[in-house]
């Protein structure tokens, strides 16, 4: 008997009809003789709506209370879906993270899973029940509810698949797989039959929201057999795995991220330890920085620029300003009308000229590059936000245009 983890995203459980559709997929998997462990997201735009409600009451609400609020969306989904399965005469139980024992760090709104207790879920599976678990949420050592970051239900699913050594982890969503870029931006993007963990991790980290990046990280670490499939059409999706036979193209895809900003700390002393102090302070405030550039200014001062999630800008500026006397900089500037566009592909390690081809596409589209940042299998450029969609189209066309 196999254990299959199935995760359904917000659009897949949007309304009563979609919940019934999800219940049917789960029921079919169960009736085929599998044990089924299900993770659900909040319905449709519930999480965004809850954020809006909070804004109306207190735009500076604490992250703890935000987690109390946002975690409710997933609880609604699991209860409703359990009711649909009950209505079909199937044995089912829905569980919140605190009932399961999904332990996380205490970093509200961006908590990491530290441990999953097996006992409760195992007991229910042993009773032949379908188990529905609320995604996105966890519980910290004080018993407080935490959330894993936007899109985090994918990570709940993979973590459960790893903890229970599931035979397969299926991520059901509103697209039928991972494409060479967001099919909503480029309608003739191509579906990938398979993609490596490393490439998927880069794509997800660079803004392809089809999978939460930490879910891919976990899948790679624990060798979880993972696939992205449609909840609306029953057809093969995209397998995410260790090795993929990439014969034709050396680029797996193009991603864009418009949720970032750039901060420049201007007029720092050109001494050893300055970069350490800046990023140590930001790290202690749980702020993840991405691309970093240091440039030498006039009179042996230096500037340090870095990109970070737009949501963290206020906090980052506060941390820097509060430590101005220690860091001794002149001023801080913030640029938030920027975007990052990236190409990702394991093949670029062995193929020269890939970056040049990307830059040529941007040049032809008359798009100016502000910053460039690379990894072994990725090239990212920072550009004006207003050019982001045009850049994705131009770069995608350059690498994938003319293919069948």
By CB under 5 A, name the binding residues for Mg ion. 9, 151
Least CB distance to ligand ADP at residue 110 (A): 17
CA 96, distance to chain mean position in Å, is: 21
- H helices of 285-340, in order, are 313-322, 324-327
Q: Is 46 in the site for ligand ADP (CB under 6 A)?
A: no
Q: Which of 9, 73, 152, 237 binds ligand ADP (CB under 6 A)?
A: 9
Strand ranges, E, within 191-313: 194-196, 226-230, 238-241, 253-257, 260-269, 292-296, 301-309
Beta bridge partners of 253: 344
* Closer by beta carbon to Mg ion, 27 or else 208: 208
**Token digits for 56?**
């109306």
Least CB distance to ligand ADP at residue 326 (A): 40
Question: Which one of ligand ADP, Mg ion, ligand ASP, none interacts with residue 396, CB within 5 to 8 A by kind?
Answer: none
Query: What binding mask, one character per residue, do residues 271-310 give for ligand ADP by CB under 6 A, x or -?
Result: ----------------------------------------
- Residue pointed to by tokens 């789960």: 26
CB burial class (10 A; 0-12, 13-18, 19+) of residue 365? middle
* Closer by beta carbon to ligand ASP, 73 or else 253: 73
Question: Which one of ligand ADP, Mg ion, ligand ASP, none interacts with residue 150, CB within 5 to 8 A by kind?
Answer: ligand ASP
d(CA 326, CA 322): 9
CA dihedral over 33, 34, 39, 45, signed as positive or negative: negative
Nearest of 313, 336, 317, 339 to residue 266 by alpha carbon: 317
Select the span of 155-163, 172-180, 271-279, 338-346 touching ligand ADP (CB under 6 A): 172-180
Least CB distance to ligand ASP at residue 13 (A): 10
Select the span of 8-16, 131-139, 292-300, 303-311 touching ligand ADP (CB under 6 A): 8-16
d(CA 40, CA 132): 7
Q: Are strands 301-309 and 260-269 parallel, antiparallel or unpaired?
A: antiparallel
Exposed e or buried b per residue across 272-284, where buried means at least 16 C-beta atoms within 10 angstroms of its C-beta: eebbeebeebbee
d(CA 359, CA 144): 48
Q: Is 184 in the site for ligand ADP (CB under 6 A)?
A: yes
Least CB distance to Mg ion at residue 41 (A): 7
Q: Is 208 in the site for ligand ADP (CB under 6 A)?
A: yes
SS3 306: strand
Question: Which one of ligand ADP, ligand ASP, Mg ion, none interacts with residue 101, CB within 5 to 8 A by kind?
Answer: none
* Closer by beta carbon to ligand ASP, 178 or else 343: 178
Residues at the interface with ligand ASP (CB under 6 A): 9-10, 41-42, 47, 73, 135-136, 150-153
* Closer by beta carbon to ligand ADP, 11 or else 94: 11
**Token digits for 48?**
């965004």
Question: 127 phi and psi, to 5 degrees?
Answer: -85, 10
Q: Is 209 in the site for ligand ADP (CB under 6 A)?
A: yes
Question: Which one of Mg ion, ligand ADP, ligand ASP, none interacts with residue 331, CB within 5 to 8 A by kind?
Answer: none
Question: Which one of ligand ASP, ligand ADP, Mg ion, none interacts with residue 170, CB within 5 to 8 A by kind?
Answer: none
Q: DSSP 3-state helix, strand, coil percentages of the chain (rounded to 5)? A: 40, 25, 35
**Token digits for 301?**
């001062």
* Closer by beta carbon to ligand ASP, 6 or else 47: 47
Q: Is 179 in the site for ligand ADP (CB under 6 A)?
A: yes
Question: 293 phi and psi, to 5 degrees?
Answer: -130, 135
Q: HSE-up of 315 (CA within 13 Å, CB side)? A: 17
Question: Which one of ligand ASP, Mg ion, ligand ADP, none interacts with residue 175, CB within 5 to 8 A by kind?
Answer: ligand ADP
Contact footprint for ligand ADP (CB under 6 A): 9-12, 41, 151, 173-175, 178-179, 181-184, 208-210, 253
């Amino acid at each position: 008997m196999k254990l299959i983890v199935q995760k359904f995203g917000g659009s897949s459980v949007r309304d009563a009809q979609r919940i019934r559709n999800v219940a049917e997929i789960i029921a079919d998997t169960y009736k085929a003789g599998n044990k089924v462990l299900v993770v659900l997201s909040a319905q449709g735009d519930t999480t965004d709506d809850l954020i809006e409600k909070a804004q109306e009451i207190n735009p500076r609400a604490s992250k703890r209370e935000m987690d109390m609020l946002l975690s409710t969306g997933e609880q609604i989904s699991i209860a409703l879906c359990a009711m649909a399965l009950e209505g079909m005469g199937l044995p089912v139980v829905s569980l919140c993270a605190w009932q399961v024992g999904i332990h996380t760090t205490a970093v509200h709104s961006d908590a990491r899973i530290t441990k999953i207790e097996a006992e409760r879920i195992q007991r229910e599976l042993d009773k032949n029940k379908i188990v529905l678990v609320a995604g996105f949420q966890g519980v910290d050592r004080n018993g407080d509810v935490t959330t894993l970051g936007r899109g985090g239900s994918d990570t709940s699913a993979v973590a459960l698949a790893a903890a229970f050594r599931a035979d397969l982890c299926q991520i059901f969503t509103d697209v039928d797989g991972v494409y060479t870029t967001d099919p909503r931006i480029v309608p003739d993007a191509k579906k990938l039959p398979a993609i490596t963990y490393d490439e998927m991790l880069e794509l997800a980290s660079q803004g392809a929201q089809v999978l939460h990046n930490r879910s891919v990280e976990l899948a790679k670490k624990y060798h979880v057999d993972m696939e992205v499939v449609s909840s609306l059409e029953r057809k093969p999706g995209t397998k995410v795995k260790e090795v993929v036979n990439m014969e034709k193209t050396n680029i797996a895809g193009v991603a864009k991220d418009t949720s970032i900003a750039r901060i420049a700390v201007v007029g720092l002393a050109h001494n050893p330890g300055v970069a350490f102090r800046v990023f140590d302070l930001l790290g202690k405030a749980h702020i993840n920085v991405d691309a970093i550039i240091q440039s030498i200014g006039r009179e042996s001062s230096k500037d340090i620029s870095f990109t970070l999630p737009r949501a963290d800008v206020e906090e980052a500026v506060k941390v820097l300003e509060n430590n101005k006397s220690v860091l001794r900089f002149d001023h801080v500037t913030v640029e938030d009308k920027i975007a990052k566009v990236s190409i990702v592909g394991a093949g670029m390690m062995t193929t020269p000229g890939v970056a040049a081809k990307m830059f040529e596409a941007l040049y032809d589209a008359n798009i100016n590059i502000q910053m460039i940042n690379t990894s072994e299998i990725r090239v990212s450029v920072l550009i004006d936000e207003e050019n982001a969609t045009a850049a994705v189209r131009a770069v995608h066309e350059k690498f994938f245009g003319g293919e069948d």
